[in-house]
Amino acid sequence: MAQSRISVVALCLVVALVVAAAAVPAASAFGCYDDCFERCSNGKEDPACTKMCTEACGAGAAAQDAAAPGAKA
């Protein structure tokens, strides 16, 4: 009985760690697209920078950055 209880607790800890690790990239990507585009394009419209930053920061990063408070329109 104790062995199965330890196994369940260990499994729950592993699941919690996996879920926590999955959330880290999403949190660290906040502001990624705006920062990347600003550094790449130097204030100019550049389709190459748009493509590169979208790939580097993830497809949803541009939408997240645009929806952020204080984001440039």
Whole-prediction pTM: 0.43
Average pLDDT over residues 41-59: 86
Between the CA atoms of 16, 21, 27 and 29, what dihedral angle is there, to the nearest 10 degrees?
-160
Q: Is residue 16 part of a domain?
A: yes
One-letter amino acid for residue 35 of the chain: D
Q: Clarify whether residues 60 and 35 are in a common domain.
A: yes
Number of domains in the chain: 2
Considering the chain, what is the average pLDDT of its residues? Answer: 74
Q: Which domain holds residue 17?
A: 1-29
DSSP secondary structure, 34-67, as one string: HHHHHHHHTTS--HHHHHHHHHHH-TTHHHHHHH
Average pLDDT over residues 38-43: 88
Length of the chain, please? Answer: 73
What's the pLDDT score for residue 45?
86
What's the pLDDT score for residue 29?
65
Q: Clarify whether residues 36 and 64 are in a common domain.
A: yes
Q: How many CA atoms lie within 13 A of 1 on its CB side?
A: 0
Q: Clarify whether residues 56 and 37 are in a common domain.
A: yes
